[in-house]
Chain A
């Protein structure tokens, strides 16, 4: 999971700057804090004033008394609601900024704790100002606005492979674990409440069903809290996906239990039939949610197939379809969270194959931004709601709840692991169990569910809310703060940062095929067999429907290779053209070292660059011409709708040119030293010309003329070239239009296919290399 916050304060700045920044922030916060009560203050008067105004206006119309024209007027209630919302969002974001400016704080205290404290502070300020605290953690607001972005972010970027591999374990924890927790806590609470015959207290009126309801609310592990805390501790992938997956999938159980107990609390008893119906309902809720999500996901994937002409609105489809999946599931009382996860996970591979790179970046950053803001707001609101809420403190209830939560969790995890380990290959060790148990944090979902309870049916609702808040505080503060040192103390395996190399990818795929083959030889329809079948079905039918054009046939390895190459090309640009080698193991190995020695000079056919066929030449010239024209008009025509239609908007050409420049104008750099090698990086730029080429989709990249280089336009061909071509490159130094003949040993492809493929490849491959490249672009004066 990529970290939520993309902003790390560079430590190279002087220490005075963060302090000054901090002071500024505190001032702004105080200012905002004082504004909010004003906002709250004007709200009760709104209704009153409106009526008065209407009367006044009516009178004025009749009298026509002339007032001087108001040059400047103040009307707060007009903009009140959006203003307050923006203030809250701004507050949340500034808080986030602030925490990272303070030097050592983020390491010690998890962000969620600080945010709750801020919420408490703001709530306190508002109360001090004597105003009514706005009901911020309103359940509608929470479930419809604050929660979906976080879940969508999680679902869209869910690492599918580890999730599927551990699905059995995750389901066990989510379903059986939550059920166990709910009944254990509910039942024991009821028992405890009954055992005080001497002092009859409120607790006696608590019946079994409300207790069970309370148990089911408090037993679910909360994805928001888990994400917030686990992201900072970087534990290994397995544990992360176990706890996180559990927090996502237990939503179905929570929904069913909640509705079941809520319905029947009024009646007072639950029969066996109801229990059975409850079980059936669970399957309906869970599978129904997933189904709804999958349907919307497929719809989104299908829609994205046709967006090649309107790239600007591509991200919108992803967001809207997902949100509708969530709402549709909620409509039927199915599990909205599971719908959202299913939608994101299903649509992702197809959508990513269809949309442009810029859209991909947009989706990623929007999701991260929204989920980050949501999370911050949720924690702040938790703090505010604590100050505001009507509490009913009962020592026994609260302490028993906290203790029971812990005990239930530990027993549940240990017991379940014992059973699960019988079926797992990679067993869960005690350390793993401890982390899983300790990572069961409760959060805002529990609070919102409690908030939804009707006071008439549950007279002790306030007591419930108090207890829920205390449990949340306990888990977030105590467990959240101590989990990081504990992880270090227990030396739990951390996340491996190594990037995936191409060798690993090749061999992973090889291994998959091998294991499937062995299973077939043994005649055992196992894991791999079904996975292989699913993959083949996917490749044969589904991809054809949902992925546009040529990409539907692209094998996974090629896609991976392209992605890797793109990443390295971007790195090359950002590192300033290879001057700074950010290499872990500097290596002098280049393509020459690994090429098998040819016994004799290459066959004459390879030497001579084959002639271009007439039609191909014409096409190339056409492309050149049109691109040159487009460049001339580039700075003048900016159209919101065709933001990405012009392949020249992107700067891919720019850094290709840079590489060329680097090659040509720094002859003192030996060719093969320009090689940056962390495990998994590609060949040196010299070998960049050796690109994978799909036989049926040739690609042509066009470099733009820039004032700095007299040798304006080159066409680099993406075909595989032998080393002789590399030498040939050196020789062509004239300015003006240069064309390199594509060396195409096969003549299979017809011109028409190439055209479509070329254009498509052009508009897809050109990616956004990032802010640096674009900055440099703007600086260059353009020839009119």
Chain B
């Protein structure tokens, strides 16, 4: 910049011009202000995000979309529907029955929080809510298994139906565990992966057990 050292602007010449930049398109404004759009757009955007994550869980590939834009709507819907479907069995309060709604809810959410804390304490780099999101979404195969179990139980509750339910629940349990491991394993230190995967295995095992032992009245 040596050449500019001797440039001086005479004080009697006014400096004038335009500072504003002509705005060609309105897209920067639209990104920040979603206040004016129709309500249907807002809801559909969230629903599409949730639906896209469901598809990611059913076909787990190593994509970071599930991790980047976390949301807890999907896990909430799955947890509530699973807890509702586990009702209606052994409503007899005289003896021990199946899990109550609150028990299922607490097990899923408390279990997910404990597993997330565990992976963070072991040195994982994933954030708290991202991990909750992944664990919640990977309950989807087990919710599908619960639906199938209830339909099979409508047909009958003999040995054949038990074997069908067993196969379905075991398959979905494997799918859940593999899906969540595929998403979460990369963020763990390499020599502690097994320490992080085992609690996830235990978590889905407990949920599968609740599904398998569901007996309607």
A binds B: no
